[in-house]
Amino acid sequence: MKCISLLGATGSIGVNVLEVVRSSPERYKIGAMAAGTNIKLLVSQVLEFNPEIISVIDSERAKQLAELLPGRFRNKIYYGTEGNQLVAAYEEAEITLSAIVGAAGLLPTLAAIEAGKDIGLANKETLVMAGQIVMEAAKKKGVKLLPVDSEHSAIFQALEAGRKEDVHKIILTASGGPFRGRNRVALEDVTPEQALAHPNWSMGRKISIDSATLMNKGLEVIEARWLFGVSTASIDVVVHPQSIVHSLVEYQDGSVLAQLGIPDMRIPIAYALSYPERTKLGLKPLQLAQCANLEFIEPDYECFPALRLAFDAIDSGGVLPAVLNAANEIAVEAFLNSQISFLQIAETVSQTMDIVHEGKEHSLEDILEADRQARIAAEKIIRNSF
Ligand code: NAD
Ligand code: MG
């Protein structure tokens, strides 16, 4: 029985993780879970999965949770950064599934690594912000970083077929999001509701907006750079609207290996949990004859400049990827609150990257400070744009 610690239990990934666990009760148990503000859902999850410890975002929510749960859970409830880290490092857990959204996922993921847990990594922001530190910590502790992001799971699987030194390119596929094919004028007035309506995947709000701007693919380029130890020069992005080919690896003999499947996050989640074994999930099979055409198109860097910004950030190095990430979080929130337009998301990120310069050092403290400065700068840029 594999014991799992789940960070971000009430989110889109968290709910899918619990579905995988629910379908294999003989295989998995949930030892610890952390969530943010959705107390109602968390209560039902706790009652069903009986974790030993639980954490929520703040003391107010911890109080609410304690009132709603039976007495036996009272002294098992924690909150805040400390609570997240306690859950992440929960003693009995073999694997910590990191699925909090945004920069808040970094410290708990590091705490899990320090505690020697294997990591199922959904929170891509962890590697975007602190890729080098996280990869070094994982190596030092001898823990596995198992990708949950579907593209990285695909690459991870295609890499099992060859030798690292024979890899020529890593090719990340992108759905293109809901606005694929539009020009900049047509993007000026798009609404949060339109941007949230992803054609193939049902996901959390932040990643849905990131998919519409292509920032998600930019973050994934940085994630791939660290996870697979390759330079960005060997990473290509190709738009593939059907989301059937989840990514590919090209070897130096010209062979290209891909992983295909229906777009369902339970597949990469289950693989991360059971690696190297595979689990029967009972999902509907991929029927190639019903897929009609599988298209592959060059990304449009003019209409979707966020992708270029991510390449710029990782190529400049230092704390710039953390600055990109923080500015993006603030800008996405402002767009969702109808404070800025869709096109202003990437503009805000770009302007923040100009203001908060790359530091030479990049210790964890430098990264957290750059994240803080970038949030202040992005908020100021947004206020001035009213
Ligand atoms: P979501 O918004 O649906 O869920 C986020 C979860 O994190 C929720 O449980 C929320 O309560 C929790 N949370 C937020 N802030 C917290 C905090 N400070 N402390 C504790 N918990 C906190 O997001 P999601 O779509 O599930 O995405 C989660 C992560 O997985 C993101 O980093 C995203 O990029 C990545 N990811 C998601 C998908 C997907 O299909 N949804 C695919 C690949 C990667
Ligand atoms: Mg992805």
Nearest CA to ligand 1 atom 31: 101
**Ligand 2 centre from 95 Cα, in Å?**
21
Give the integer Cα–Cα distance in Å for 132 and 360: 14
pLDDT in tens, 230-242: 999 999 999 999 9
pLDDT band at 7 (very low <50, low <70, confident <90, very high): very high
Does pLDDT of 335 surpass 70? yes
Residues around the ion ligand 2 (C-beta < 5 A):
149, 151
Beta bridge partners of residue 6, listed in sequence order:
33, 97
Token digits for 288?
A: 């190639």
Burial, 281: exposed, middle or buried (Cβ in 10 Å; 0-12, 13-18, 19+)? middle
Amino acid 135 reads M
Cβ < 6 A, ligand 1 pocket = 8-14, 34-38, 57, 84, 99-101, 104-105, 122-125, 149, 201, 203-207, 265
pLDDT of residue 361: 64
Beta bridge partners of residue 236, listed in sequence order:
171
Give the integer Cα–Cα distance in Å for 104 and 81: 8
H or E element, residue 34: strand 28-34
Computed on alpha carbons and rounded to an integer, the radius of gyration of the chain in Å comes to 20
Give the integer Cα–Cα distance in Å for 206 and 297: 25
- Strands (E) across 200-276 are located at 235-239, 245-251, 256-260
Give the integer Cα–Cα distance in Å for 376 and 320: 15
Give the integer Cα–Cα distance in Å for 53 and 51: 6
Which residue's structure tokens are 């009972």? 282
pLDDT in tens, 181-232: 999 999 999 999 999 998 888 899 999 999 999 999 999 999 999 999 999 9
Give the integer Cα–Cα distance in Å for 251 and 4: 35
What is this structure's pTM?
0.97
Does pLDDT of 359 surpass 70? no
Beta bridge partners of residue 79, listed in sequence order:
56
Residue among 100, 200, 215 to mutate when testing ligand 1 (max atoms within 8 A of CB):
100
Residues 58-70, mean pLDDT to the nearest whole number: 97
pLDDT of residue 198: 85
Does pLDDT of 26 surpass 70? yes
Q: Are 196 and 5 in contact (CB under 8 A)?
A: no
Residue 80 CA, closest ligand 1 atom number: 19
pLDDT in tens, 122-142: 999 999 999 999 999 999 999
Residue among 155, 203, 265, 333 to mutate when testing ligand 1 (max atoms within 8 A of CB):
203
Residues 84-91, mean pLDDT to the nearest whole number: 98
Q: Are 148 and 13 in contact (CB under 8 A)?
A: yes
Token digits for 358?
A: 């790359």
**Ligand 2 centre from 149 Cα, in Å?**
5
What DSSP string runs through 293-316?
A: ----B---TTT-THHHHHHHHHHH
Residue among 18, 23, 14, 91 at smallest CA distance from 279: 23
- Summary mean pLDDT of the chain: 96
Nearest CA to ligand 1 atom 10: 36
Burial, 162: exposed, middle or buried (Cβ in 10 Å; 0-12, 13-18, 19+)? middle
pLDDT in tens, 278-303: 999 999 999 999 888 999 999 999 99
Taken in order of first residue, the domains within the chain and their CATH numbers are: 2-147 (3.40.50.720), 165-260+281-310 (no CATH)
Token digits for 48?
A: 């069903």
Residue among 183, 237, 225, 187 at smallest CA distance from 209: 187
Residue among 65, 84, 101 to mutate when testing ligand 1 (max atoms within 8 A of CB):
101
Residues 42-66, mean pLDDT to the nearest whole number: 98
